[in-house]
Amino acid sequence: MRALLVVNPAATTTSARTRDVLIHALASEMKLEAVTTEYRGHARDLARRAAESDNMDLVVALGGDGTVNEVVNGLLHHGPDPERLPRLAVVPGGSTNVFARALGLPNDAVEATGAILDALRDRTERTVGLGLAAGTPGTEDEGVPSRWFTFCAGFGFDAGVIGRVEQHRERGKRSTHALYVRQAFRQFVNEPHRRRGKITLERPGAEPVSDLALSIVCNTAPWTYLGNRPVYASPDASFDTALDVLALSRLSTSAVARYATQLLTSSPERGPRGKHALRLHDVTDFTLHSKVPLPFQMDGDHLGLRTSVTFTGVRRALRVIV
């Protein structure tokens, strides 16, 4: 088996020594080419070349969810083709590792590598669905290229929180759960659209839903983790279905307190609910429009401001070793 290992040297939970051990373990079982990323988008470029070659069987991403997202977008640059494209394996090296953990992999790089090697020997894999987001035709964002996401996207409040966290990380702060909580509070205090939202959700065959203040799009459950605690925005979301949506029409102090409590106590059987909550399950096509530019994120990566995003849930998009 020929495999490409894409290594993010900035992965927050793996040291250089650990990475060397993982590379040695993988190389003992396959013909391995290990490449360390050197710039933003490098993982995508490496995975694209692997997808376009005729002799690569597997691409292994060693890093956090951002690295995985880049690799997935490189593999699917020409569109999904599970039978032809190299398979994907993920060794978690970030602070949260939502995609790897949602697949059932251990949240430890060494243990996950062992699980991947066992899966390769046993020939176990699954084909997962993914989300695709693109600029909406006929809007000022129509030229924004499409991009795949593995576990979630957000338009509005949660993307603003991620943007704030990224600003602090650029100043040298570590990505911690405490940092996210602090920035979520500051985003809420400064949120200008919390009482009357600016987002409208449109989907074929249904009436538009307007005045939404927050929208979270999930491709799997859980939505994220706080330490070892899974947080379920859309408990029914699955890699085997299309996309789920949780949208809130109000972000008043009382509403935020209620829904934040529901998120913190959520479970695979119960997520946020109430008169200000819109929940959609297994939606293939829909569009989010905003009256004003709002922050947008995918897989925890802040992508700037958007006024309109069109989403597509694509079933059976990529083979993953588990």
pLDDT of residue 194: 60
Lowest mean pLDDT among 164-173, 233-242, 262-271: 164-173
Its pTM stands at 0.93
- pLDDT, average across residues 125-146: 96
Distances in whole angstroms, Cα of residue 47 to Cα of each of 125, 142, 238 = 19, 26, 25
Band of residue 175 on the pLDDT scale cut at 50, 70, 90: low
pLDDT digits (tens, 9 = 90+) for 236-245: 999 999 999 9
pLDDT digits (tens, 9 = 90+) for 194-220: 667 899 999 999 999 999 999 999 999
- pLDDT, average across residues 57-67: 97
Do β-strands 2-7 and 31-36 pair in parallel, antiparallel, or remain unpaired? parallel
Does residue 241 sit in helix, strand or coil?
coil
Residue 162 confidence (pLDDT) above 80: yes
- pLDDT, average across residues 106-110: 95
DSSP 94: S
Instruction: Give the pair of three-digit tokens for residue 234.
Output: 């859309």
Closest CA to 283 of 190, 203, 210: 203
Residue 303 confidence (pLDDT) above 70: yes
Q: Is the CB of residue 313 less than 8 Å from the CB of residue 129?
A: yes
pLDDT digits (tens, 9 = 90+) for 176-192: 767 777 777 777 777 76
